[in-house]
A = this chain, B = another copy of it.
Amino acid sequence: MEELLDTTGGKRGRITIHDVAAAAGISISTASKALNDTGRMGLETRERVKRIAAEIGYRPNALARGLLSKRSFTIGLLTNDTYGRFTLPVMAGISDALVDHGVSVFLCAIEEDPALAQIHVEAMLDKQVDGIIATGKRLDRRLPVDLSNLNVPVVYAFTEGAPGSVTFRSDDAQGARLAVEWLAKLGRKRMVHVTGPENFFSVRERADAYRRVAGEERPVLFGVWSESWGHEAVARLWSGGGERPNGIFCGNDQIARGVIDALRERGIRVPQDVSVVGFDNWEIVAAQTRPPLTTVDMELKELGRQAGLTVLALAEGRSVEPGIRKLPCRLVVRQSCGGDTLGI
């Protein structure tokens, strides 16, 4: 009790429970039980052991603990989203949800390389991860690796899951409805939808929802995910002799940015003449657009949080209903539609 404290952490290696036991003059079994609030023991002993452990800076070795408990308090996050545009919010949500439970996250970026993916999966399994979350950049694409027969739980987030698995995704239809209803509420009835390639599942889903709310006859322009397509779409809409829209719902923020820039170049005012709404709420694009973009946020952080909690539940043996869970999107009102002073 009056020993010199070795603040360097001991000459060799870390402080173990043996050191705690020795310092308290008890056995390691008793020390363990005291620290974990298990077993039978005098309250006074328990407190004393805890105090001594804290004093000498004891921290249990997670490897040893994991070896016995078969829980490593570690999960793996597998992603093929190199840019991290979708992965980072998901990661943030997972981490946020799990840090309280002492769980750390291995991040593995696998590009589209099946061999690399396999290596990472094996490394994670060797390290006894409690579970794996697979995430990506497209709802309708699989990661280039088969995770269906692993003996750890797998949860899919923002990527296509295996049959019978748990999958979290954004509710793109609902997100599109939010956008369209907002435009309608602002009186923008002459709507058009400028979006990405039709072979994307989420593009079709958003377009369908848009047509259901705005009217089946309202036009949809499919293209690519770039600013320049936004420019081109505006050129097409304004050069033809057809109806000029006063509300443009874009498939992502980059297209919206292109659309707004193109409108400005034509002297068309946003939002006075035309309202524009984007999709993704990619801060760096949405906030820098002039005017700042009203856009749909997929709440990817919340999606990550739920995926994290779910994989944890599975790891703890709790059972989880399989299936696809659609999480609601949220409309972020900035200035590209007007109405931003209304409150929502």
Contact = CB atoms under 8 A, between A and B. Distances in A.
- How many copies of this chain are found per oligomer? 2
A263 to B, nearest CB: 13
Nearest to A14: B151
A67 interface: yes
A11 B146 CA distance: 21
A62 B126 contact: yes
Interface stretch (A101-109, A202-210, A305-313, A328-336): A101-109
Given A123-B99, A127-B104, A91 B63 contact: no
A9 interface: yes
Contact of A83 (B59, B82, B88, B128): B88
Contacts of A323: none
Interface stretch (A133-141, A153-161, A192-200, A283-291): A283-291
A72 interface: yes
A187 interface: no
A48 interface: no
Given A109-B91, A284-B83, A124 B99 contact: no
A30 interface: no
A265 B265 CA distance: 8
Interface residues of A, number: 55
Nearest to A88: B84
A238 to B, nearest CB: 18
A288 B227 contact: yes
A60 interface: yes
A61 B105 contact: no
Contact of A82 (B60, B61, B92, B107): B92
Given A108-B104, A151-B14, A227-B288, A63 B66 contact: yes
Interface string A1-25: 0000000110001100000000000
A55 interface: no
Contacts of A126: 59-62
Interface stretch (A35-43, A114-122, A170-178, A214-222): A114-122
A12 to B, nearest CB: 10
Interface in A275-310: 283-285, 288, 290
Interface of A: 8-9, 13-14, 59-64, 66-67, 70, 72-74, 76, 82-85, 88, 91-92, 95, 99, 102, 104-109, 116, 119-120, 122-128, 151, 226-228, 254, 261, 265, 283-285, 288, 290
Given A59-B126, A63-B66, A92-B109, 10 more contacts: A14-B151, A59-B125, A64-B67, A84-B88, A95-B108, A99-B120, A104-B120, A105-B107, A106-B107, A228-B288
